[in-house]
Structure 1
Amino acid sequence: MVDRLFVYGTLMKGNSLHDKFLSGARFAGYFIADGIQLYDFGNYPLIVQNEIDKVKGELYIVDSNILDKLDISEAKANLFTRKLIKVINDDDEVQEAYVYVYNTSASKNIKVDSDNKPDKEVRRNDFVWYASYGSNLIYERLMIYIKGGKCKFNGVNYEGCRNTSLPKDTRPVTIPYKMYYGNESSPWGSGGISFLDINSRGKSLGRMYLITEEQFEDISRQEGCEENLYNQTISLGDYNGIEIVTITNTNTRPYHDPSDKYLEVLRMGIKETYPDMSDFEVMKYLVQCGSEKR
């Protein structure tokens, strides 16, 4: 019996397990599997099924002997399950193929973008989790800092980062300091903008992005490293072995109420990051960030 097998990591050509298992298989082309997300797992990648992501890989024609050997190897510790999925190539040719899917939670691992080579290891020392708590809660807003261009939220032109690649991952994060509104004027109009009071423990709603250290440097510079802006980088610990960092001011800035425009951007960012929060809960949080500094 002949079957098709879709592979995405160590079984691909030139990788460590290819010759061991697929030396007798026939290469059938490069294909894409929809509804699958690739994660970095240290020495090898893995995939889990979802509804929106995709993975690039290779398709092989295999016989039952190859599948039997792979079933034994991939079934170790009951971590992988062989499933039948549909894959498509650049000519819109659709094929049914088997794939080995990770059947345990991968939420603590790093997502690998579908545009990257699936076997590429994410070098942890090259990345940081940038934790935002102000306007960069909105993904589109952060992308202006990365790609450059005019921000539709405040009308300012930004130069962008030297490395314009997308964040590898993004997820909510709780920041253990109180957020407050400081300074008197900004591109957002007359009013305060978000800072962290590093002398006051609390709970601020944040969103962190997995970006390169260089991108973090470029974003910090565009945010403003001046004495009255974001002149201090602080560490918030680590997630999955990668440091979480954010920026604020060394000293507590003079408190000022934020403009309505800025509050609306914060509201949008929180709703985007925490979709289960009600409108009342969001506004209560934003009001409390101001009232605690009065």
Structure 2
Amino acid sequence: MAHEPTHDAERVWYVGYASNLGVDRFRCYLAGGRPEGGLRTYPGCRDGSDPAAWFSFEHPGGLVFAGTSGVWGGGMAFFDPDRPGAVACRAYLVTVEQFGDVVAQEMRHPPGGDFARALAAVVPEVGELHTLGPGRYETVLRLGARDGVPMLTVTSSDVDAVEHNAPSAAYLRSIATGLRESHGWDDGRITDYLVAAARLDGVWTPARVAAAISNGAAR
């Protein structure tokens, strides 16, 4: 992206690694709206402006589908830093307030509420990780820094403790859209990546994933 990030203590890189790889989907958290194929409409942040910058990268770890998504149905994506491999990511430069509001919405709390404000207050203290409490994405994980600004994502504190569950076709399509947009991957590479993440042979075979992400028949 053309915008240059600023050195600003009030900013943070929010790192997305599933459907949030797509800018339009991430904007639903910022400005409000319902992502294509999703089942939930988001209220948006108090400050609904676009990120000041964004960039794509891969980070060591693995993508895991578990639990149940209220937005897509089927399993949710989690970032497991202890799993071998690499996770495709996209980082967005947002304000600390926006970060708190985005994560609050991910955990079904209102933007600007007590949870969002409490999270924003502890962002400067996040070292490697910070657990906020019970919930789906209750742990803030630090993935390093860029231009002196921390790079933070959210996941579960114990991915293996969440029951693994196959994702929905709509979710896979949304992730695939983000992977094409952010990383320029072709459908073959996307299929391999998602099949490895799903780890559920017989549920999402390579052929079924390939059909789903090309808008073929859903399972």
Q: TM-score, normalised by structure 1?
A: 0.56
- Equivalent residues of 1:255, 1:293 under 8 A apart: no
2:157 equivalent in structure 1: 250
Question: Do structure 1's residue 143 and structure 2's residue 27 form an aligned pair?
Answer: yes
Shift of 1:291: 1.9
| Cα pair distance change 1:177/1:160, threshold 3 Å | same
Deviations 1:58-84 (A, max 9, x none): xxxxxxxxxxxxxxxxxxxxxxxxxxx
Q: 2: CA distance between counterparts of 1:273 and 1:151?
A: 17
Partner amino acid, structure 1, of 2:62: K
Aligned counterpart, 1:219: 102
Matched residue, 1:283? 191
Which secondary structure does the structure 2 equivalent of 1:199 belong to? coil
Change (3 A) 1:124 1:292: farther
Structure 2 residue 179 is the aligned partner of structure 1 residue 270: yes
**Do residues 160 (structure 1) and 75 (structure 2) align?**
no
Normalized per residue, the structure richer in helix is 2
**For residues 144-200 of structure 1, what are the alpha-carbon distances to aligned partners after superposition, in whole Å with 9 as ceiling and x for unaligned?**
1000133333131111111112101111021222111011343212x1110012333
State the superposition RMSD in angstroms. Answer: 2.1
Higher strand share: 1
| Deviation at residue 208 of structure 1 after TM alignment | 0.7
Kept after mapping to 1: 8 A contact 2:30/2:47: yes
Inter-partner Cα distance in structure 1 for 2:104 and 2:186: 34
- Identical-pair percentage: 30
After the TM superposition, list the runs of 4 or more consecutive aligned residues in structure 1 that deviate by more than 3 angstroms. Answer: none
Relative contact order (alpha carbons < 8 A, sep ≥ 6): 1 or 2 greater? 2
Paired residues in the alignment total 175
CA distance in 2, matches of 1:38, 1:237: 21
SS at match of 1:221: helix
2:53 to 150, 169, 193: 169
Q: In the TM superposition, what is the alpha-carbon distance from 1:201 to its structure 2 partner? A: 4.4
Partner of 1:232: 139
C-alpha separation between the residues in 2 aligned to 1:177 and 1:38?
A: 28
Counterpart check, 1:195 vs 2:78: yes
Q: CA deviation at 1:280?
A: 0.2
CA distance in 2, matches of 1:159, 1:245: 22
CA distance in 2, matches of 1:184, 1:221: 18
In structure 2, the gaps of 5 or more residues are 109-132, 203-219
C-alpha separation between the residues in 1 aligned to 2:177 and 2:46?
Answer: 28
1:186–1:192: 8 Å Cα contact kept in structure 2? no
Cα separation, partners in 2 of 1:288 and 1:165, compared to 1, 3 Å: same
Cα 1:247/1:267, change in 2 over 3 Å: same
Find the residue that maps to 1:220 and give its secondary structure.
helix
Give the direction of change, closer, same or farther, for the CA distance of 1:184–1:156 in structure 2 (3 Å limit): closer
Q: Is the 8 A contact 2:55 2:91 kept in 1?
A: yes
Q: Report the Cα offset of residue 293 of structure 1.
A: 10
Amino acid at match of 2:179: I
Larger radius of gyration: 1
Aligned AA (1:166):
D
